[in-house]
Amino acid sequence: MKTAGSASAVLAAGGGFFTADGTCQNSNQTMAGDSLQESVMGSGKFGPNPKYRVLWTWDYGVFWDDSFYWQGKGSTGENQRRAHFLKDYMRMVDFCSAHGINGIIIWGALRAHDNGVEQFRELVKYGKQKGVKILPGVGVFSYGGVFFDPRQNIHWVNAEQFSASNPYWLPSWLSQHPELQAIGPDGKPYHMGMYSALACPSKKENLEWFKRSFAWLFEEFQIEGAQVEIGDYGICHCDDCKKKRTGGEGSVLMIEDMAEPYLAACEVAKKANPDAWVICETYSSFASPQKAEEPGQFSTAMSDTQKQRLADALPETAILQWVMDRAVPFNPMHDWTENVYLPSKNNIVRIHHGSQWAVNGKDEWAVYSIGEMVKRSRACGANGVSIFGEESPASPPNEANYLVFSEFSGFGGKNPNCDYKTFFANTLDPLYGGSDMSLEWRRIYVTAHFIRLGFKVDDAMFHQTYHEIGRPDLMDEILKMSTAEKRSELRKFAQEAHDLSSKLSGESCRRWAWLENWLWRAEFLFQNPH
């Protein structure tokens, strides 16, 4: 028999859920508890709607039309899903167009196989018709350069043995000019595989090659912009590169490498299209770290001095893109204040919540973090926001993520103060079958996610959504549960979902039926735990 204090009893009691003004029912804790949230919410001070409202994707991870079930092999692998590229992305464009999202970034945009180039060309045209800019992701010294995969047929060609020439493909360029490769810590050129070739940022020839490639991209496809990255999986250790940098042997990227290529990208794009968006990835946060951080790592903070240097080197039209995962609830390691120093006029704020890079998975419920990202961006004067777009809104948690992103950006439901209560009551509840039904759905889904996860993660990127449902001790409680207790909880939740879905019909029934199926899939894992 369970006592009132046992984990199972606590879970069965349901726990608190957050009231949308930022407090937790059954708890004195605020949801995020930082000063910016209070000042934003207290003063109602928001800047205008963000100018840049962007979904970020890798082509292999997009799954909007699952009539085609093949999947790709990761960001440095092949994409067997490419045959379905246009069908996936046209659906995404339609959704964006209807929800005020005006750009889609695509990594792996250019692949030759499966008629990939023509598919991309068609998508650019379709995006223009619908008011959604198609923005290819481009590596300067990494990620294949401008043309990601020139193989005509991936089913017949081994990637590592492929040696065909393509003037806009980085491995091809470096195979012709091996002296321009980046040098590893051992003093020899890196050997990381075809998709991960690295060029030395200090060699002028590499920059000139990039400019030629980037100009071709704009001319050939009449694109309305692009996202540019230097690379974040290795730095060059040649003497020239060592001289101009700070950072240590373990660095994976260097802010000192950004100014020259990003300036070049802006200049080339402007010649082709004066209104082009050139989104320059900083891999950094603009907020203040609470503890000292190792330089040269992904998502760490950029100092004000570094910000100033980068901004001084770039034209006003440059759009800097920031990684703010460490500055949003529920794991703030960076302090994000309203008067933070933004070095440039145009800034896109981006987080990885609800994506394939989230510990909770790409179907993560991330409404509060995404909502806070948009609110804080508007409060501090950042004029752009971005989240991941790989998962279809047929998945209810991703649909909710997209809707809060859109609504708090000034589109969708009327909500000028970016108020969560309004969002849940007016936008989500009708989709879930009635008053407070979306909160109930969230409570079950989030709790069940952590039961399924079953272990504690201290990773800085971990998204502790149990705070959103007012259950700060949830993981501790779950860790005390036996497998049988976890299984029993999931079965109870499935029954709850079934009882509710059986009273509903149409689309609201579908969202509960989706949850019921998800719960049974989770329960299956506990039938024979390994």
Name the residue among 298, 302, 303, 307 with its Cα closest to residue 285. Answer: 302
C-beta of 199: minimal distance to Zn ion in Å?
A: 9
Is the bond leading into 330 cis (omega within 30 degrees of zero)? yes
C-beta of 313: minimal distance to Zn ion in Å?
A: 19
Q: Going by DSSP bridges, is the β-strand pair 133-139/225-229 parallel, antiparallel, or unpaired?
A: parallel
| DSSP secondary structure string for all residues of 390-430 | -B-TTSHHHHHHHHHHHHHTT-SS--TT--HHHIIIIIIHH
Rank residues 196 and 392 by Cβ distance to Zn ion and give the closer one: 196
C-beta of 145: minimal distance to Zn ion in Å?
A: 17
Backbone angles phi, psi at 82, to 5 degrees: -60, -30
CA separation for the pair 457, 524 (Å, rounded): 23
Rank residues 238 and 269 by Cβ distance to Zn ion and give the closer one: 238
C-beta of 195: minimal distance to Zn ion in Å?
A: 20
C-beta of 278: minimal distance to Zn ion in Å?
A: 24
Widest Cα–Cα separation across the chain: 75
C-beta of 200: minimal distance to Zn ion in Å?
A: 3
Contact assessment for residue 454 and residue 529, using Cβ atoms and an 8 Å cutoff: no
What are the angstrom distances between the C-alpha of 452 and each of 487, 491, 521?
9, 12, 10
Rank residues 200 and 279 by Cβ distance to Zn ion and give the closer one: 200
Contact assessment for residue 292 and residue 241, using Cβ atoms and an 8 Å cutoff: no
Contact assessment for residue 111 and residue 141, using Cβ atoms and an 8 Å cutoff: no
Q: Which residues pair with 319 in a beta bridge?
A: 279, 346
CA separation for the pair 101, 219 (Å, rounded): 25
C-beta of 260: minimal distance to Zn ion in Å?
A: 13
Beta-carbon count within 10 A of 147 CB: 23
Rank residues 155 and 204 by Cβ distance to Zn ion and give the closer one: 204
Rank residues 236 and 287 by Cβ distance to Zn ion and give the closer one: 236
Rank residues 209 and 218 by Cβ distance to Zn ion and give the closer one: 209
Burial of 296 (0-12, 13-18, 19+ CB in 10 A): buried
Contact assessment for residue 47 and residue 381, using Cβ atoms and an 8 Å cutoff: yes
Rank residues 242 and 521 by Cβ distance to Zn ion and give the closer one: 242
C-beta of 238: minimal distance to Zn ion in Å?
A: 3
Burial of 453 (0-12, 13-18, 19+ CB in 10 A): middle
Name the residue among 346, 366, 348 with its Cα closest to residue 356. Answer: 366
Rank residues 189 and 225 by Cβ distance to Zn ion and give the closer one: 189
**Which amino acid is it at 483?**
T
Rank residues 202 and 344 by Cβ distance to Zn ion and give the closer one: 202
Reduce the DSSP state of residue 446 to 3 states and report it.
Answer: helix
Reduce the DSSP state of residue 149 to 3 states and report it.
Answer: strand
Rank residues 200 and 302 by Cβ distance to Zn ion and give the closer one: 200
Rank residues 88 and 232 by Cβ distance to Zn ion and give the closer one: 232
CA separation for the pair 321, 206 (Å, rounded): 23
Rank residues 173 and 330 by Cβ distance to Zn ion and give the closer one: 173
C-beta of 281: minimal distance to Zn ion in Å?
A: 20
Q: Number of helices and strands (H, E) in the chain?
A: 17, 12
Contact assessment for residue 319 and residue 262, using Cβ atoms and an 8 Å cutoff: no
C-beta of 134: minimal distance to Zn ion in Å?
A: 33
Name the residue among 259, 274, 169, 261 with its Cα closest to residue 213. Answer: 169
| Site residues (vs Zn ion, CB under 5 A) | 200, 202, 236, 238, 241
C-beta of 235: minimal distance to Zn ion in Å?
A: 8
C-beta of 201: minimal distance to Zn ion in Å?
A: 6
